[in-house]
Structure 1
């Protein structure tokens, strides 16, 4: 199918068809779109991706949907109809990648199972993303982000000693979406060498358990559940939020050299050789005392003044930014990281993808209205105007 992107972009000429909803696969496919792939998002005519209706926070469009769906084409088609399914199958036959995160087994029942698709299209790359993966006792269970955070152990180590909490962002969705995009890129690289596609499975649970990292290994090899530490760190001290004259500041000292530098800034050089604090192991053992002496000194400074002094000394520190401050962050502004994209209601700000190519800029396409590209895609498939009109009247397709 015809590419729509700058020829310098890495995925120029790659076409992706998605049966996606919510966060995980939409995040993966948006990353591919940012890299130049043509992404065709198949949606239900009666409302489309349900993330469209989470809220109307961004000038009338849902915040999740704006974040995750720029640069895509929306095809609104009823997959319960034979004609609707045939249209999507025609698109997939012309495409390079097919992604889906419908309920377990739903894609296969509709005729979009990976084995079935690749039997006639062996060079196709398919990804089935689900909560728990195929097989096993949890295969058919509901798998929202919060539930996966709970099952993966993430909630058990997040929060304070008094209260476990989920993360403030959909970590399980993001983790699995990142692995989905990474796997697609690897599969395409192999296909360019061998001509063979791939059938890929991504589990939200497995992606999030992988992100548990050192905490999981600590438990497996010591038998001890890592404590919930708030903004502190189970293995490092001082590492926490400390009071200032007008607020608080985060300080994270990760080495004994950093501790020595901190004692200079706080004018407590005698504590360098204090046997309670002279090594990180000793500081962790005496965390309460260490935090107390640091806090006694940090409250002598304003937040801005202490932040500047710590930065000048090379000590890791940060002010706790509200989101309004993040949107106006001077580092993002200095690096010119904001762009403008269109939605069906207004022009809105969008952040450039984190990975910057020196020789090409990311595609920052518009966020599609439901069914915005249906008519054009049907024409591209060779469907005549009379048939398009009939399909529209029958409710098989929605044309914006």
Structure 2
């Protein structure tokens, strides 16, 4: 099956999560992705050893790439990278702020040299501003953006359980690169893209910020409850299992009271008429709801909620997701053996179980890539020398 980005070459001087997320999705779409690693490799290779002796992060985010190890402090290795960039469509990097420019591969310079090139710089806080010089990782940005402040319970803040800032930045960069590729098809011009973890997740924080800016409303940490809608959360059933359900509008509130709680008068009771009133009186309302859930099993609760036309779900553990009947997986070859990973969300042309290229070992393609781009570099030098000779005659 032909992939949409076949024929596109991506060079990624990348590490950790955000940039590898972006380039992995480009590789999934058929692009040739050359991953440039330090001689010791991407440090994400050593985050853990829990997947057949390999890092879960690394095998998730690096399928379908070619790996070359370069020491960019050496002129000969910078020449190899330069030859790769000269023949690339996209250049991605997420090194420490300022590092790539010191090495001679800053986006502004590359765009002057290669007008069709799309460059993408991913950083913690961007290229300008008082924090732009700082290194930043996911938890730091979760804290800086206030995400931790609205995550957790009344007892204290918490980290979102996955690297949400990295993933958000990677998704944002991917979207911008795809837009730039589409625009280049029409104009012939590349683009310079900057994405920061801070900006990516700050955008996701618009609702609590807008609520504060215009009404001084403080989003409370609500545990496994929705901070802005009530009732919407997890409730313990008679069998000890938790069920989550949601009331999104007045119609669902009426159905919930009449068909699930069997208390139609509750919809007219003072303090429960609309969502804002229910939020203010959530403690009182929850006593009634909790008492009803405690009398029935989780299967009974879900059956009744479905009959009432309400959305519901289970408060699953990781082992429940691992065996979830709705979960799609794909098999990916890695240096440690085949592994089954969760499939990407998009289903294109009905292909529910796509096939992907392997995860590379550290430097697996170094020799071949050095040969390929060394030859290209030599041809370019020969052509330049020939042009000079022709001009002199």
TM-score (norm 1): 0.90
**Partner of residue 371, structure 2:** 379
**Partner of residue 387, structure 2:** none
Distance 1:58 1:225, change over 3 A: same
Displacement of 1:272: 3.0
Displacement of 1:325: 1.1
- Residues of 1 paired with 2:314 and 2:181: CA distance? 41
Displacement of 1:312: 3.5
- Residues of 1 paired with 2:76 and 2:23: CA distance? 25
**Partner residue of 1:310 out of 293, 305, 308:** 305
**Partner of residue 385, structure 2:** none
Matches within 5 A, 1:97-136: 97-136=90-129
**Partner of residue 142, structure 2:** 149
**Partner of residue 346, structure 1:** 337
Q: Given that residues 35 and 363 in structure 1 are in contact (C-alpha distance below 8 angstroms), is that contact kept between their aligned partners in structure 2?
A: no
**Partner of residue 12, structure 1:** 6
Matched, 1:255 2:249: yes
Matched, 1:280 2:272: no
Displacement of 1:22: 0.5
The Cα offsets for residues 251-306 of structure 1, whole Å up to 9 and x where unpaired, read as 22111211222221232233233233232233223211111111111111111221
Matched, 1:201 2:194: yes
The Cα offsets for residues 184-213 of structure 1, whole Å up to 9 and x where unpaired, read as 000000000000000111111111110102
**Partner residue of 1:358 out of 332, 349, 353:** 349
Worse overlay, 369-378 or 172-181 = 369-378
- Residues of 1 paired with 2:154 and 2:108: CA distance? 48
The Cα offsets for residues 165-198 of structure 1, whole Å up to 9 and x where unpaired, read as 1110111111111111000000000000000000
**Partner of residue 299, structure 1:** 294
Q: State the aligned residue count.
A: 373
The Cα offsets for residues 228-272 of structure 1, whole Å up to 9 and x where unpaired, read as 111222321111211210222112211121122222123223323
**Partner residue of 1:231 out of 224, 237, 243:** 224
- Residues of 1 paired with 2:365 and 2:171: CA distance? 26
Q: Given that residues 36 and 67 in structure 2 are in contact (C-alpha distance below 8 angstroms), is that contact kept between their aligned partners in structure 1?
A: yes
TM-score (norm 2): 0.91
Q: Given that residues 231 and 241 in structure 1 are in contact (C-alpha distance below 8 angstroms), is that contact kept between their aligned partners in structure 2?
A: yes
Displacement of 1:363: 4.9
Displacement of 1:136: 1.6
3-state SS of paired residue (1:381):
helix
Q: Given that residues 266 and 298 in structure 1 are in contact (C-alpha distance below 8 angstroms), is that contact kept between their aligned partners in structure 2?
A: no
**Partner of residue 322, structure 2:** 327
- Residues of 2 paired with 1:257 and 1:159: CA distance? 30
3-state SS of paired residue (2:205):
helix
- Residues of 1 paired with 2:243 and 2:151: CA distance? 20
Greater relative CO, 1 or 2 (CA 8 Å, sep 6+): 1
Q: Given that residues 271 and 277 in structure 2 are in contact (C-alpha distance below 8 angstroms), is that contact kept between their aligned partners in structure 1?
A: yes
- Residues of 1 paired with 2:217 and 2:277: CA distance? 20
Q: Given that residues 34 and 353 in structure 1 are in contact (C-alpha distance below 8 angstroms), is that contact kept between their aligned partners in structure 2?
A: no
Q: Given that residues 28 and 178 in structure 1 are in contact (C-alpha distance below 8 angstroms), is that contact kept between their aligned partners in structure 2?
A: yes
Matched, 1:30 2:24: yes
Matches within 5 A, 1:150-189: 150-189=143-182
Q: Given that residues 36 and 363 in structure 1 are in contact (C-alpha distance below 8 angstroms), is that contact kept between their aligned partners in structure 2?
A: no
**Partner of residue 203, structure 2:** 210
3-state SS of paired residue (1:304):
helix
- Residues of 2 paired with 1:52 and 1:312: CA distance? 48
Displacement of 1:374: 1.3
Q: Given that residues 241 and 250 in structure 1 are in contact (C-alpha distance below 8 angstroms), is that contact kept between their aligned partners in structure 2?
A: yes
- Residues of 2 paired with 1:226 and 1:277: CA distance? 20
